[in-house]
Amino acid sequence: MTAQKSIYWIATGLLSALFLYSAVMYLTDTAVIEGYYQDYQYPTYLVIPMALAKIFAIVFILLRKPKWVMEWAYAGLFFDMVLACFAHYRLNDPGITLPLLGILFLLVSYFFGKTVRP
């Protein structure tokens, strides 16, 4: 396995683990997550659809078919992480490091995936 493939699979694995963990938290501790959404002034009815969207996005990123859906999955996760960064920053929350790491994993996975898995 080449270094580029290793980097791609490590980044994609960490990205998948991060979002699957997030989705499981959204589905199992819905009331707690809704409380966080209220703190961030986000609508609480988005919690379950966001969890499902995160799961579907990871599935399409790993399958990479169809390509246009994979591109949208990366975009959706990117926007999710950017909005999470702004929300944590606005509340001076130290939890901003996880969304920043998520953006890093996402960008590495996306750009290395273009060369490793065309």
What string of pLDDT tens digits covers the 118 residues of the chain?
799 999 999 999 999 999 999 999 999 999 999 998 998 889 999 999 999 999 999 999 999 999 999 999 999 999 999 999 998 898 888 889 999 999 999 999 999 999 998 7
pTM of this structure: 0.93
Query: How many domains is the chain partitioned into structurally?
Result: 1
What range does the domain containing 31 cover? 3-116
Percent of the chain with pLDDT over 70: 100
| Residues 18/102, Cβ–Cβ less than 8 Å | yes
Are 73 and 83 spatial neighbours (Cβ–Cβ below 8 Å)? no
C-alpha closest to that of 70 among 88, 80, 58, 54: 58
Summarised one tens digit per residue, pLDDT across range 21-36 is 999 999 999 999 999 8
Closest CA to 117 of 56, 64, 59, 71: 64
